[in-house]
Amino acid sequence: MNVKIRSIFDSINNYFSIASSVLIARVLGGLITILIARSLSGAEFASFSAGFFMMTILGYSTTGLDKSFVFQYIHQRRKNNTELIESYLWSKLVMVILLGVLAIIGSYVALNFIKFSFLLLILGVLFSLSFWYFTLVLSLYQAKQDFKKYGLVQISFYTLIFVFTLFFIFINKKSSIIFLLAYLLGVFGIIPLMVPFYKLRIRYNRDEITKLLKYAKWLIVAEISWLFFIRLDYFTVSHYLSKNILGEYAIALRSVNILSIFVSSLSIYILPKVAEIKHKRELKIFWKKSNFLTFSMVLLGLLVFIFAKEIVTVLYGKNHMIATDYFRKMIIAYSPMFFVPPFKNLILKFNKNIHYFLFNFILIITYFISFFILRMRFSYQAPIYSKGIGFIIALSYIMILYYFRDKEKLI
C-alpha cells in the first residue's frame, strides 16, 4: 500500500514539476502581455490581439498532429522511432504551409467584414512559424517524456520574447507590428535545444505518414476547432464593443490563462500516461492522481475568482478595471474546463478518435446556438455565458461516453 501511495505522490510531484515550468513560462507570457498592454492604447492593443490570435491559431493548428505523434511514439514502443519522427516533421511543415495559404485567402475574402488591419492579420500568418517551431520542439521532448527539457523549452522561448519586448520599449519602438515580431525572434532561444535532434531530416515516407495521419485526422480537426472555439468570443463580442473596450475584454481573456496554465499542464502530463495504460490497476491509479489534481485546480479557481480585482489591478493597473467584470464571469464560464483533461485524453484509447473531435464540435455548436438565443438580452455578455454552456454540455457528453459506453475499451 505504501508503495502505491509513494507512486501516486511521485507522479503528482512530477506533474507539479511540469506545471511549475509551464507556470514560469506563462508568467513571462503574462508579463509580456502587460508590457504590451501598457505600451499601447486600447484600440492598438485590440489590433495587436487580432494579429496575435491569428498567429497563435495557425501556430497551434498542428496540435492534433503533435498529440498523435506523441501518442504513437509511446504507444508503439518501437526501438527505432526515427522514421516516425521524420514523417512527423514533414507532415507538420506541409500542414502549416497549406493552412497559412488558406488563412491569407480567407482573410482577404473577409476584409469587408472585419475591423482589424489586414496587414496585421497577414503578419500573424507569417509569424505563426514561431509557434509552429515551438510546438515541434515541445512535442519531441514530450514524446521522450523528458519534462525538464520540455519546461526549459517553454522558459527559453518566452524569456527571449520578454527580452526583445523590453528592448523595443526601451528604444521606443512601440507598435503592434514590432511587438508581434518579438514572438518570431523568440525562436532563437530554443534553437540550441534542437541540437540532440540535429541528425533528423524532413523526409517523405508514405507508409509512416499514412499511419500517422490516419490516427491524427480527427485530432487535427479537433484541435483546430478548439483553437477556433477558445478565441471565438473575442471576435463575436467585437460587434458589441468599441475597440477600447474590446482591448479590456482581450485583457480578461489573457487573465483566464492563469487557470489554463494548470489545466494545460495536466493535459501535458496525462497524454503520455494515458498511452501507457494497459491494465485496470493502472487505470485506477491514473484516476486517483487525476482526481487529486482536479480538486486542487477547483480550489485555485475559487481563489482567483475571489481576488480577481486585485489580480487585474496588480497586473494591468487601475486603468483596466473594466476587465475585472469580464474576468470574473469568464472564470465561472471556464470552470468546467478543470474536469476535462482526464476524460478528453482517455478517449484517445477508444477505438474511434472521432469522439475527441465531437467534444470540440459540440462546444462550437452549443456556443452558436446559445449565443443566438442570448445575444438580444445579454449583448456583450452573451459570448461568455454561451462559452460556459458549451463547456457544461461537452463535458456531460464525454463523461456519459466514458461511464456508460466506452469505458471497457480503454484496456
Cβ atoms of 174 and 39 closer than 8 Å: yes
As a whole number of angstroms, the distance between CA 10 and CA 292 comes to 13
To which residue does cell 484496456 refer?
411
As a whole number of angstroms, the distance between CA 148 and CA 22 comes to 10
Cβ atoms of 320 and 375 closer than 8 Å: no
171 exposure class (CB count in 10 Å sphere: 0-12, 13-18, 19+): exposed
As a whole number of angstroms, the distance between CA 89 and CA 306 comes to 44
Q: What does the buried/exposed string (b/e) look like for 65-92 if buried means 16 or more CB atoms within 10 Å of the residue's CB?
A: bbbbbbbbbbeeeeeebeebbbbbbbbb
Cβ atoms of 252 and 45 closer than 8 Å: no
Q: What is the DSSP letter of 149?
A: H
As a whole number of angstroms, the distance between CA 365 and CA 139 comes to 30
As a whole number of angstroms, the distance between CA 196 and CA 179 comes to 31
As a whole number of angstroms, the distance between CA 132 and CA 345 comes to 22
Supply the pLDDT for residue 160. Answer: 92
**Alpha-carbon torsion, ordered 317, 323, 327, 330, to 10 deg:** -160
> Which residues, 6+ apart, have CB-to-CB distance to 332 below 8 Å?
305, 388
> Which residues, 6+ apart, have CB-to-CB distance to 159 below 8 Å?
28, 189
3-class DSSP state of 3: helix
Which cell numbers in the block locate residue 89? 516533421
Angle at CA 337, nearest 5°, toward 334 and 339?
Answer: 145
As a whole number of angstroms, the distance between CA 150 and CA 14 comes to 12
Mean pLDDT by 10 residues, the chain (411 residues): 57 67 78 82 74 80 83 70 83 84 75 64 81 89 83 89 90 83 87 80 77 78 78 65 66 74 76 76 79 82 84 72 79 86 79 79 89 78 84 89 66 49
As a whole number of angstroms, the distance between CA 212 and CA 216 comes to 6
Backbone φ and ψ of 80, nearest 5°: -120, 110
Which residue in 274, 406, 391 sits closest to 352, CA to CA?
406
> Which residues, 6+ apart, have CB-to-CB distance to 240 below 8 Å?
379, 380
Supply the pLDDT for residue 162. Answer: 92
Cβ atoms of 114 and 243 closer than 8 Å: no
